[in-house]
Structure 1
Amino acid sequence: MPKINVYLSDELAEAVRDSGVPVSAICQRALETSVKRVTAIRSATIGELGGGDPTARLPHFTERARTTVKIAIEQARADGSPLVGTEHLLHGIVKEGNNMALRVLTATDIDPQRLLADLPASTAGDHPADKFSGPLANAFELAMTEAITMGHNYIGCEHLLLGLVAEQDGAAGQVLRAAGAELRSTRGAVSAALAGFVHHREQAGSKPSDPAAAVAALVGKQLKPLLDRLDRLERHVGLE
């Protein structure tokens, strides 16, 4: 049976040894789940969009993420673009108007409206967009990978943002990186924002009706200092 090396920090390796957990079984199950999710989203983003709800085939997407993708498709078709590209997904994130990705961008001093202004104009085609572009399909896969790495069983707009930042060929990633959205810092901002939301919910004793607004209230007080601390720690241990 083939072997795959898994590297752990010294602290985690010691904890694993002390606990006696079945490492091989756990890793196999985690990898199996991850492969199934990535394969599912890969099959969902290849081929024509077809009729009906084009987001129905996207596994584990939240309602806001689905709405964002629908807006992206509508924008691509309004532009006369032959493909739905990363630039259209970024447009969808901004136009949806009330998601975690927008709060993260604002917290990291990136103006969402300026991003839209910096996007290149779409190339008009002979027929309305009916497929996702290669870079957008890659961004969806990267978003799924980010969600899995964070231990999340869903894909939200914050994961889509990370997918766009990580994807190298699409217009959206280029515009985001030019605006200062480096992957490591954006990932840290997402983690901090989600932690802030959970803390707020626990303090409030119930789920707020507007999670994005709840996070926004925490940005100045909690998110910035936490991001600064994460950055100092990562630089101290040599992580890039």
Structure 2
Amino acid sequence: MFERFTDRARTVVRVAKQEADELGHQAIGTEHIVLALLRDDGGIGHTVLRACGIEYDAIRATVAAGDDAAALRSIGIDLNAVRASVEQTFGPGALERAEPAERGGFLFRRSKLPTRFNNGAKKSLELSLRIALSLKHNYIGTEHILLAVLKEERGSGGRLLREQGMTYDRTMDLVLTALKNAA
């Protein structure tokens, strides 16, 4: 399947791994794929996201806050207000994760677990092939990955995009228009 990925689509997969690593997440999810699409300037997926008003910084902040932020929002707690209050009291970066001290010796060596795709991300990458084939494309581009993320209903990335007002059908229309304009 990966042999059908365009260079930009492969870059999106690599950048999604970087995003997960930078955020300290053990698995690559659809939210990391969305962040990678937003960073991939020039791809059709990026163009469509930007046309819909989706901003990298806003999505990254939401992903960094995690699902806990959504749960807190549902009971009326604004995580950003809490964070601002803590930083005002204890200084900037007070809530940043501290790196554990390095320890020497055989028994204390830390091994970094490999970052793997979670089920939602795997499903999205598989769906990207199906979407490409349904459009009669012999390649998988960033536009197919974006559509697959939206189609995968359980993934955090699709949920984030739907919260921003994106729908699969509207995104498909935008993708088809962008493909026609690119040709």
The reply to whether TM is greater than 0.5 is: yes
Q: Distance in 2 between matches of 1:168 and 1:72?
A: 19
Aligned-pair Cα RMSD in Å: 2.1
**2:39–2:56 Cα contact (<8 Å) kept:** no
Q: 1:122 to 1:77 in 2, by over 3 A?
A: farther
- Counterpart check, 1:75 vs 2:13: no
Paired residue type of 2:165:
G
The aligned residue for residue 45 of structure 1 is none
User: Are the counterparts in 1 of residues 27 and 115 from structure 2 also a CA contact under 8 Å?
Assistant: yes
**Counterpart in the other structure of 1:174:** 159
Specify whether residues 91 and 76 from structure 1 end up closer, same or farther in structure 2 by C-alpha distance, changes over 3 A only: same
8 Å CA contact 1:94–1:113 kept in 2: the answer is no
Q: Does 1:165 align with 2:150?
A: yes
2:43 to 93, 99, 108: 99
CA distance in structure 1 between the partners assigned to 2:45 and 2:164 by the alignment:
15
User: Which residue number corresponds to residue 139 of structure 2?
Assistant: 154
Superposition pairs of residues 1-240 of structure 1, within 5 angstroms: 41=1, 58-121=2-65, 127-198=112-183
Give structure 1 stretches of 5+ with no counterpart: 1-40, 42-57, 199-240
- Report the count of equivalent residues: 141
Corresponding residue for 1:222? Answer: none
TM, length-normalised to structure 2: 0.69
Percent sequence identity is: 30
For normalisation by structure 1, the TM-score amounts to 0.54
The answer to whether the 8 Å contact 1:72/1:92 transfers is: yes
Q: 1:75 to 1:129 in 2, by over 3 A?
A: farther
- 1:106 is displaced (CA, Å) by 2.5
| Deviation of the 1:110 alpha carbon | 3.4
Which amino acid is 1:136 matched to?
Answer: A
Compare 73-82 and 183-192 and name the one that shifted more.
Answer: 73-82
Tell me what 1:38 maps to.
none
Q: Which amino acid letter does the alignment assign opposite residue 9 of structure 2?
A: A
Q: Tell me the amino acid that sits aligned with residue 176 of structure 1.
A: L
- Bigger relative contact order, structure 1 or 2 (CA pairs below 8 A, ≥6 apart): 2
Report deviation, 1:112. Answer: 4.2
**Matching residue of 1:231:** none
For 2:134, give the aligned amino acid.
T
1:68 to partner: Cα distance: 1.0
**SS of the residue aligned with 2:149?**
helix
